[in-house]
Every structure is written in structure tokens, then in C-alpha cells.
């Protein structure tokens, strides 16, 4: 199952689906797409699938959770953690998990990361079954103006960047991971996403500030997650 939070007329709703299909190597028929704008699924709905992926947000912010779906979505994620259901959250999904579990997310444009950025694994990340397959330093695709400023208790910090000390997490002892960066995006798809939301990121409409670099290492993260889940290694 993939949870999304996007307006139905947002062209990135479909683009995000295409990116998850491409990055996981699964057929489109393998996915149960749920847009929480239209309703939050139950934990029973989630558990009818093999794993949960949490995607991006379009125009919504965990730092300003004013929409009606935020409270039931936070309840769902706490239930998912309680039952230890295999989950990976990307960007907005990362921030949702931080907030739902008692951490803090803030809007911080000065430390916003939009484009390609260098990320470094922490000691916990290097020793993790999932993130430990990445090199100690790697390039990752970003697109956020909100960031985690305090992690919840019981959550390990897997990675950091120069601007954001919290870049990835694992709920300790559970099959719950997330990253502030986008493992489902590559260089081309991140640039496409940036252009779609350019008024948010750069009202002048320019691309000069968008640092675009390949990120081959992170493209292996979601397939590795699904393999760990499928083979029962976590």
C-alpha cells in the first residue's frame, strides 16, 4: 500500500505513483494506492498488504497540520508502529512518523533542501540492516522546506546532512524506517517535481539554485527494503 497526500488535480499524484513503480521494480498492479485526502485507511486495510510506503505531500505541511486527515493519519501510523508492520516513509512520510510518535517538525526555509545533497550515515545507520547497505556518504534527492528538529523517544537517527542533522530514522527494534530524502526519485524525476512546484521553491521561476546530481546509491533502498520484508530478514 502507498499512502499519498495530494490534491486530486495535482499532476504529481500520478507522477509519484510512476516513481514508486519504477523505483521498486514492481508492476503497477502490485500497489494499493490510497490518497489520504479522500480518507485514511484502517490498520486492517494496511495489514491486508505486504508492506506500507508513505509518499509525499504536495501542498500539505506536517509543521502546520490544519487538514482533517492529519489526526486520523497520525493515529494510523501509531497503530502501524504498535503492530510492527513493515513501513518505509519518504520525505512527508518521514515527517509524519516523527510527529505521530512525539517528535517535532518545523518549517525552516533557511535549512530547506531542494535538489541533490550529500548525506552521511550515523553509526546506527552504518549498522542497520537496511541503511547499512548504503555507502557511508552518498548523494540523495531532496525536496523539503520542513524538517525534523526533535526525534521521538525510541527512534534512531540513521543519517545526517550539513543542513539537517536528522535525515533518516528507524523505530528501534521494529520494521519501521523513513528518510527525509526521496529514494523513489532520481535526478530527472526530482527536476520534474521541482518544476511542478517551482512557485513554492523559487517564486522567480529560475532553476539556478537547483543542484541536480545523480543519486544511484539511494535507488537501491526501496528494493532492499522489500527484499528484507519478503525474505523475513527483519
Q: Which residue among 16, 113, 164, 184 is the active-site one?
A: 184
Euclidean distance between CA atoms 179 and 83, whole angstroms: 21
Mean per-residue pLDDT over the chain, rounded: 96
Task: List the beta strands (DSSP E) in the chain.
Answer: 2-4, 33-35, 52-54, 87-90, 104-107, 113-121, 137-144, 146-150, 155-161, 168-171, 176-179
pLDDT value of position 131: 98
Query: 184 catalytic, yes or no?
Result: yes
2-230 folds as: Rossmann fold (3.40.50)
Instruction: Report pTM.
Output: 0.96
Three-state DSSP class for residue 33: strand
Residue ranges covered by each domain of the chain: 2-230
CA–CA dist 123, 101 (Å, integer): 22
| 182 assigned to active site | yes
- Which candidate in 113, 144, 164, 182 is catalytic? 182
Active site residue 144: no
When pLDDT is cut at 50, 70 and 90, the band that residue 205 belongs to is: low
In the prediction, which pLDDT does 194 show?
93
Q: What is the pLDDT of residues 11-33, one digit of tens each?
A: 999 999 999 999 999 999 999 99
The residue annotated as part of the active site, out of 91, 113, 144, 164, is 91
Amino acid at each position: 500500500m502507498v499512502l499519498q497526500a495530494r490534491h486530486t488535480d495535482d499532476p504529481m499524484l500520478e507522477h509519484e505513483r510512476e516513481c514508486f513503480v519504477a523505483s521498486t521494480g514492481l508492476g503497477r498492479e502490485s500497489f494499493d494506492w490510497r490518497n489520504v485526502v479522500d480518507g485514511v485507511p484502517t490498520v486492517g486495510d494496511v495489514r491486508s498488504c505486504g508492506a506500507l510506503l508513505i509518499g509525499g505531500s504536495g501542498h500539505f505541511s506536517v509543521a502546520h497540520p490544519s487538514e482533517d486527515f492529519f489526526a486520523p493519519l497520525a493515529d494510523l501510523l501509531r497503530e502501524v508502529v504498535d503492530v510492527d508492520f513493515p513501513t518505509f516513509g519518504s520525505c512527508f512520510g518521514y515527517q509524519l512518523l516523527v510527529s505521530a510518535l512525539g517528535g517535532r517538525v518545523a518549517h525552516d526555509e533557511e535549512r530547506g533542501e531542494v535538489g541533490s545533497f550529500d548525506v552521511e550515515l550515523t553509526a546506527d545507520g552504518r549498522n542497520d540492516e537496511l541503511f547499512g547497505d548504503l555507502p557511508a556518504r552518498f548523494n540523495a534527492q531532496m525536496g523539503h522546506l520542513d524538517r525534523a528538529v526533535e526525534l521521538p523517544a525510541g527512534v534512531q537517527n540513521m543519517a545526517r546532512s550539513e543542513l539537517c542533522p536528522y535525515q533518516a530514522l528507524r523505530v528501534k527494534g521494529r520494521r519501521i524506517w523513513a528518510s527525509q530524502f526521496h529514494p523513489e526519485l532520481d535526478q530527472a524525476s526530482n527536476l520534474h517535481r521541482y518544476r511542478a512546484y517551482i512557485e513554492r521553491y523559487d517564486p522567480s521561476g529560475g532553476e539556478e539554485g537547483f543542484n541536480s546530481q545523480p543519486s544511484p546509491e539511494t535507488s537501491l533502498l526501496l528494493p532492499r527494503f522489500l527484499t528484507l520484508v519478503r525474505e523475513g530478514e527483519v
